[in-house]
Chains A and B, each alone.
Chain A
Amino acid sequence: MTKSTSPQHASLADLVKGLGSGQFSSRELTDEYLASATDASHLNSFITLCPDEARAAADKADAERKRGAATHLLHGLPLAHKDIFCTAGVRTSCGSKMLENFIAPYDAAVVERLNAAGTIMLGKCNMDEFAMGSSNENSHFGPVLNPWDNTRVPGGSSGGSAAAVAAGLTPVATGTDTGGSIRQPASFCGVTGIKPTYGRVSRYGMIAFASSLDQGGVFARSADDAAKVLATMAGFDERDSTCAQQNTDALQQAAQQGLAVPKNSLTIGLPKEYFQDLNPALTQRLDEARSLLEAQGHTVVDVELPNTKFANPTYYVVAGAEASTNLSRYDGVRFGHRCDNPKDLQDLYTRSRTEGFGAEVKRRILTGTYALSVGYYDAYFLKAQKLRRLIQQDFLTAFDGGVDLLLAPVTPGPAFQLGNLTSDPVEMYQQDIFTVPASLAGLPAASIPCGFVDGLPIGMQLIAPHFEEVRLLELAHQYQTLTDWHQQQPPARTAGGNSQ
């Protein structure tokens, strides 16, 4: 196949069509992606590739298609899962030494739904350990390289998923977003990434970082592709108490019929706090996007989200506190890493955890422990919980005031150099300032490629009211019918970053 018709960079709709018409089989598609994943192993975007399982599943899918049992839209399509989603029979490491040998006896709800749809799992994508990080440099399995420039990070924590989609190693990939872990790597890698409303996608079997923030989502080459996968992932699950009983009809319709463009002109808010002192080149890209949308009849207004500046401290308290206790179950007793020859119970706990967790995970655990401990609870945890409400109220006030969607930067700039921020955690945390507010508020938000800065792709962020994913995706889709930023492909292998 020539480059232009290569399924590796085709849209899901085209792949669906190709499978349906017999242009290629699921097995052929799977082999193609597996081969490219092997070729691009220098990116380190997969922790585990499962060629045998994938081929067997593809053969099964092809057989089903032959006998007319390929009923689901996504049937026979290969994809990759972030290594945070438990997969029965295939290792789920969560990027950690702690779970280096962990094979869950169950599938995550997301995996279960996508398996039931007949998708083929190519492998498990690399990630920052326990989803804690903004560069993918915190993985026990080594960093992921940005396909656009191998000396740069792909972003994190879902860096492997973003890089794999960008490099054409999979048409789509799942990810999770706690404070930006889908949107930031999507921006850095030039792909479309959406974090749906908190509660939209079941967290069952998705290894917890911060329970009140974690949300599963998807990386794709377009909003339309993302809608197709999200519609299958989303929906109520009685095993997750925090999962919303919200209907997904509009999403299902968008998946089946393809995304429409917004029926009415929308009011798009620009939160002015996000644009203060912003990288000029990035500001310019966002201005261009704004003009394009205005030309489509949408109205752009300035809005104020005055508590934005408190979002990062609030986030690092809430996420740290929840993480510090979510990670207590890793104690070397029932699963996971256990130290050699523990001399007593305390030694077993302490050494297993000390050996099993990396530096960033330890920092977050210690931060969270501090914020919850006697004498600090009110000043930190309680204060953060109150600020969290104020931050959410800022958004709700804007939406109640007639704003349909918000347009904002995703990241302060494009992908940074590997190793640049590793020595300064606070500097690294500043990468998240534009993504954490929507996470705290539980709002759906996406990164949509909107051009290049310094030769590197960059995304714009769209934020919608709770459960208005379709509104968000329709606007993104409209934008993507007018631009081709989302179709740009990274060079096969970049000069600067030969495999390290």
Chain B
Amino acid sequence: MSEINMEKLTRLAHLQLSDAEQTAARADLEAIIGMIDTFNAAEVGDTAPMSHPLDLHARLRADIATADITRETYQALAPSAENGLYLVPQVIDSE
């Protein structure tokens, strides 16, 4: 196991940890990754990676627009929506 970059992980995951939490989380992660590292003893050779337990292929959906869309119902779930738009703090420099 190499050094865990907590700053990078929390940034990518959009989580915020106080110093004390970060220390505890690092210790937990080190223990978890230490447990995971026991699989380094396994010889996998050129085994094909398995993403999915069944050997199935994509099933395709006919290209028909059948969705029943009720914007008001969906937006009733939103913490902040106005004029049909979801609101977030000002986005800078988008397209």
Contact = CB atoms under 8 A, between A and B. Distances in A.
Contact of B50 (A342, A385, A429): A385
B13 A365 contact: yes
A362 B9 CA distance: 11
A60 interface: no
A354 B15 contact: yes
Interface residues of B, number: 49
State which size class the interface on A falls in.
35 or more
B15 A380 contact: no
Given A105-B70, A362-B25, A367-B33, A331 B14 contact: yes
B61 A238 contact: yes
Contacts of A384: 39
B89 interface: yes
A348 B50 contact: no
Contacts of A140: none
A71 to B, nearest CB: 27
B88 interface: yes
Contact of B49 (A309, A353, A370, A382): A382
B79 A366 contact: no
A212 B52 contact: yes
Interface string B17-46: 100000001001101111111110110100
Contact of A241 (B29, B33, B49, B59): B59
B13 A199 contact: no
Given A332-B79, A389-B49, A440-B53, A314 B39 contact: yes
A388 B31 contact: no
Interface in A371-409: 371, 373, 380, 382-390, 392
* Residues of A contacting B: mostly: helix
A362 B4 contact: no
B50 A392 contact: yes
B88 A362 contact: no
A371 B33 CA distance: 9
B53 A366 contact: no
B64 interface: no
A496 to B, nearest CB: 30
A357 interface: yes
Contacts of B78: 333-335
Nearest to A376: B2
Closest 5 pairs (CB-CB, A-B): A442-B53, A385-B49, A338-B79, A389-B50, A386-B44
Given A362-B15, A385-B50, 18 more contacts: A242-B52, A324-B13, A331-B14, A333-B88, A344-B89, A353-B15, A363-B29, A366-B9, A370-B33, A380-B36, A386-B48, A386-B49, A387-B44, A389-B47, A390-B44, A425-B32, A442-B53, A466-B54
